[in-house]
Amino acid sequence: MDVLINPAARDGEDRKATVKATRPTREEAEAAVRVLIAWAGDDPDREGLLDTPKRVAKAYGELFGGYDQNAPKMLERVFEEVGGYDDMILVRDIPFFSHCEHHMVPFIGKAHIGYYPNEGVVGLSKLARVVDAYARRLQTQENLTAQIVGAIDETLRPRGVAVMIEAEHQCMTMRGVQKHGVSTLTTQFTGVFRDDPTEQVRFMTLVRSR
């Protein structure tokens, strides 16, 4: 069954609008898992694996639930009564897990988000929800970083956004070069963070300070 999805579609409603054929059924997904088990060299009919296709399909619904979430909408409610506060807001050490789109194995890490408010601030938990909405998809770390920045920048229109992501990729530790303890760091800046290097230094310093 062919399911064609526009690569530019980022969020739940956009994705649904670009699906050109019916999404595979739960039964079809479970059948695909049975094929993979057999291809790996095991017997999908043995006792320990009989319910594995159902478990995997259910787990995939959770692990890739971000496809059905609209991250920008999570940021639409802002609070304007902030007593004139206009300095940087930083939420650091947001844990996340995602899956590499090249090998479909996990990469796990933390996201750090800073922004200078313009016309209001957003609830802090909403920033963590945005990270999860994009992380729970097939991803690259670079794309994940850019998507988080884009959602915040386009929805809140702050004076600047800074995002840094640190992650360890299991496609490097479980396969391939098999190097453990290697972390990848990505950053992206907009507004005052992009235009003023001292703001980048301040952001990085606050992220690293304990």
| E strand residue ranges, 52-88 | 78-79
Q: Could you tell me the sign of the dihedral formed by the alpha carbons of 32, 8, 148, 156, in that order?
A: negative
169 is catalytic: yes
141 is catalytic: yes
188 is catalytic: no
d(CA 177, CA 130): 32
199 is catalytic: no
Q: Which of 100, 139, 147, 170 is catalytic?
A: 100
100 is catalytic: yes
Q: What backbone phi and psi angles, to 5 degrees, belong to 70?
A: -105, 100
Q: Which of 141, 170, 188, 200 is catalytic?
A: 141
**171 annotated to bind ligand:** yes
Q: Which of 13, 28, 76, 102 is catalytic?
A: 102
Burial (CB < 10 A; 0-12, 13-18, 19+), residue 205, is exposed
d(CA 131, CA 122): 14
**103 annotated to bind ligand:** yes
Q: Which of 30, 99, 147, 169 is catalytic?
A: 169
- Residue ranges for the known binding site are 100, 103, 171
- Residue ranges for the known binding site for Zn(2+) are 100, 103, 171
Active-site residues, by number, are 100-103, 141, 169, 171
